[in-house]
A and B are shown apart, each in its own frame.
Chain A
Amino acid sequence: MINKLIISVAESLLMARWRQTLVAALGVTFSIAMFIALLSFMAGLNDLLDGLILNRTPHVRIFNEIKPSTSQPIERDSVYANAHHFIHSIKSANSRQWLYNSGAIIQALKKEEQVLGLSPKLTAQVFFNDGSVEITGVINGIDVNAETKLFHFSDYVVAGSGADLTKIPNSIILGIELAGKLLANVGDVVVITTSKGEQFPLKVVGYFQSGLKEVDRTQSYATVGMVQKILNKPNDYITEIQVKLKDVNQAPALAKKFSKIYETDAEDIQTANMQFETGSSLRTLISYAVGIVLLIVAGFGIYNILNMMIYEKMDSIAILKATGFSGSDVNKIFSVIALSIGIFGGIVGLITGFVLCYIIDHIPFSTPSLPTITTYPVHYNPAFYIIGIVFSLVTTYLAGWLPARKASKIDPVIIIRGK
């Protein structure tokens, strides 16, 4: 049992060397604060990078890919069922790109329990006419409301308003780089030419900046209906359905399922952006490793200081033992010392870590490629704080364990005789 007496003796020993104690505690404080700041900052960065791509990426994309048929006519012939087929130069058929029966698919998807929402999309390759120059570009037909709700479309509209697309007929939002090339201001009219040669004048109602230059140079947005009109297609013509799920981890399974049910292609986010997943987990791993190394170094500091304290307090330990304190009592005293350094240093470290995060969170950070970011990203996660305090207690306890054992094994006779 750790009782009041043990604690009071530990406290006196601590206070007798309060400077050393403070240094030891500061070591823990520093490492915990750094651990938390590092992890929060790294997690914030991960969120930011994920947000850059993953937030805007549908969890499952349903579309038709141009590819060769998987079954060739000869394979269906029962006469040659057991034969080996030599087929050369298979070409992709001139299959349709649009989703057949898209209306029904959308209705069915909306009823799926795991689907958070979906937004239809179609794309049209067009030329933007700028005097005699023609610039190739893409117009994405989107459902602005769904796109904003699910994929933060409005966040990336840096001038004008996304909602104007639905309000103003024949309107378009240009990628910011594209607008620069066309010298088109908000309110101007740009003329596009479709691949069939038809021309449409469209009013610019906003700029779009994704942060990815390549995207901003070619992409532009209009409503689904507008693009259908440009392509001269009926109003059930869409080429892609973007699905957002409640749980992103279900994406691979559901993609397979949708692909089977609707006889289309379906791609999940994990397959499409594998490198992001890897990058995030590696960064997290590195920050944990650095944080834990910091704590271990602090642990060695505590170990040193306790060892020194034991050499200094040999006489006191001997007298405690001579007057009736057992080895385990002495062990407890030094464990309490180590743990209180851990608790005190750890708690101050948590606070310092939080303050550091808060400061980082308020340092202005703006980059043209990330229009929604104004300060350094920080992710506040209680788990980091819990890991921090638990780890600080574990390291300090372990750091105190050996010195405490040593102290408990001190033979008072040797000390007293030695004088």
Chain B
Amino acid sequence: MSDIVLEARQINKSFHDPVTTRVLSDITFSVNRGEFVSITGKSGCGKSTLLYILSTMDTDYEGELLIDQMSMRNKKEADLALVRNQKIGFVFQFHYLLNEFSVLRNVMLPGLKLKKYSEEEVEHRAMQKLKMLGIEHLARKKANLVSGGEKQRIAIARALINDPLIIMGDEPTGNLDKKNSDIVFNIFQQLTEEFRQTMLIVTHDQSFADRTERIIEMQDGRIISQ
């Protein structure tokens, strides 16, 4: 089964402030189900910008983006939010947990928003994800009271809660030490191997990229190899 979950067709993007600068040119590639893909490149090559477009948060681009074979063009803001909620899991460089909530609640939030399961079920699933990542003991803690490595793992659990089509990571290990980077990488690897979870990770960490199945390398807003 190698159906395409995400496809970019000739994506162009320019910043217009203060002068028009093209940051992405003719980005065309696709990601198949179960693939573990990394996007690498030097700082400023446009890889993060590309990820924001792929994640539907940035809608100011030219070209075509298909997620799950559906075009993201001309979709309303609320519909895009639903797509993000349902089909995309995010892991950022800076964990971005909601400090007002407990760890468990953080993981549950996207699930509660989706309303596919009842609150009890969402909680049960959240606990399962935490257990899978070996951090179930943190469930009742406040999100701002756990360590950086743990936060990133919580963020991964949150990304998994709605069984997303694809997990997108924006330098997920950029802010972590070697040990925690390895833990996070191993989790990603485990997810692709055991659950055929599709991954699209932006990173400038070459050793991280080297261990993924497929590397898309970018330079000056273009894909130079994939």
Contact = CB atoms under 8 A, between A and B. Distances in A.
Contacts of A416: 52, 57, 92, 96, 170
A323 B113 contact: yes
A419 to B, nearest CB: 5
Size bin of chain A's contact surface:
20 to 34
Interface in A1-33: 5, 9, 12-13, 15-16
Given A16-B100, A419-B93, A325 B113 contact: yes
A323 B85 CA distance: 5
Interface in B84-128: 84-86, 90, 92-94, 96-101, 105, 109-110, 112-114
B168 to A, nearest CB: 10
A73 interface: no
Contact of B57 (A9, A321, A419): A321
A326 B78 contact: yes
A326 B109 CA distance: 13
A329 B79 CA distance: 12
B146 interface: no
B82 A324 contact: yes
A322 B84 contact: yes
B100 A12 contact: yes
B48 to A, nearest CB: 7
Interface in B139-182: 158, 170
Contacts of B98: 12, 316, 319-320
Contacts of B170: 416
Nearest to A14: B100
A291 interface: no
A124 B85 CA distance: 93
Interface residues of B, number: 31
B55 interface: yes
A157 interface: no
B77 A327 contact: yes
A315 B95 CA distance: 10
Interface string A404-419: 0000000111001101
A328 interface: yes
Interface in B43-100: 48, 52, 55, 57-58, 77-78, 80-82, 84-86, 90, 92-94, 96-100
A326 B96 contact: no
A419 B95 CA distance: 11
Nearest to A317: B98
Contact of B100 (A13, A326, A327, A328): A13
A41 to B, nearest CB: 42
Interface in A327-374: 327-329
B113 A322 contact: no
Given A15-B100, A315-B96, A316-B100, A326 B57 contact: no
Given A322-B57, A324-B86, A324-B114, A419 B81 contact: no
Contacts of B97: 319
A324 B113 contact: yes
A224 interface: no
Given A413-B58, A416-B170, A327 B78 contact: yes
A318 interface: yes
Contact of A16 (B78, B92, B99): B99
Contacts of B82: 324, 326
B48 A326 contact: no
**Most chain-A Cβ atoms within 10 A of its Cβ — which of B48, B77, B80, B97?**
B77
Contacts of A323: 84-85, 90, 109-110, 113, 158
Contacts of B77: 326-327
A414 to B, nearest CB: 10
Contacts of B52: 413, 416-417
**Most chain-A Cβ atoms within 10 A of its Cβ — which of B55, B57, B85, B105?**
B57
B110 A324 contact: yes
Contacts of A328: 78
A325 B110 CA distance: 8
A326 B86 CA distance: 13
A309 to B, nearest CB: 11
A15 B105 CA distance: 15
A413 B57 contact: yes
Nearest to B159: A323
Given A5-B112, A419-B94, A322 B55 contact: yes
Contacts of A326: 77-78, 80-82
Contacts of A412: 57
**Most chain-A Cβ atoms within 10 A of its Cβ — which of B94, B99, B109?**
B109
A12 B109 CA distance: 12
Given A321-B57, A324-B86, A329-B81, A5 B100 contact: no
B94 A12 contact: no
19 contacts: A16-B99, A16-B100, A318-B96, A319-B96, A319-B98, A322-B84, A323-B113, A323-B158, A324-B82, A324-B85, A324-B86, A324-B114, A326-B77, A327-B77, A329-B81, A411-B57, A412-B57, A416-B96, A419-B94
Interface of A: 5, 9, 12-13, 15-16, 315-316, 318-329, 411-413, 416-417, 419
Given A319-B97, A323-B84, A324-B114, 12 more contacts: A13-B100, A15-B100, A315-B96, A316-B99, A318-B96, A321-B81, A322-B84, A323-B90, A323-B110, A326-B78, A329-B81, A416-B57
Minimum-distance CB pairs A-B, first 5: A324-B85, A326-B81, A326-B78, A12-B100, A16-B100
